[in-house]
Amino acid sequence: MKYLRLTKEQFEELHEEFARFLATQSITADEWKDIKENKPEVAEAELDVFSDMVWEGILNNTEYLEKIDAQQLFLFKIEEAEMKLIAIKVNDTSRDITTDEGFQWLLKNYLNDEVDFFEASQAYSEDKNEDIFNLLKMGSVISKGEWYQYFRELLYAE
């Protein structure tokens, strides 16, 4: 297994897709029941393969990631050849940008001396999707990129 097995709840949400997945392998509902009861290792392998397929689909379609900590905001843009990063650090440890109040302070005070911006680009390793997945494992979440675009425009406003 390359990524992470889906949870029971996720499998329940994707039961129709999983049924189609089994059908592509010519496994009927009765055969699946038999496999689960009599060949649990085969059932486990099928669950793992399906999980990896779902993750590949998600990762292939990911365009932006965000990770926010009390004093740092990491905004990633997933491009074809590299990943771009806008990182924002609040040096005032009394500010917590994970709260509404703290985030509103950041939006109003991004030019404050207590706020630093960093930008970086990095080529992917041999496996782009694994790089993205590792960021998810470290607490990043998939986003629509609104904050990336917002801060990018602020950095490059003329």
Could you report the average pLDDT of every consecutive run of 10 residues in the chain (158 residues)? 93 92 91 92 94 95 97 97 96 94 93 92 95 96 96 81
Are the C-beta atoms of residues 124 and 83 closer than 8 Å to each other?
yes
Based on the fold, state whether residues 84 and 121 are members of the same structural domain: yes
The number of CA neighbours under 13 Å toward the Cβ of 83 is 22
- Number of domain units in the chain: 2
pTM of this structure: 0.86
Tell whether 1 is covered by a domain. Answer: no
Tell whether 2 is covered by a domain. Answer: no
Based on the fold, state whether residues 53 and 68 are members of the same structural domain: no
Tell whether 3 is covered by a domain. Answer: no
Based on the fold, state whether residues 74 and 118 are members of the same structural domain: yes
User: Could you tell me which of 107, 105, 87, 88 has the C-alpha nearest to residue 96?
Assistant: 105
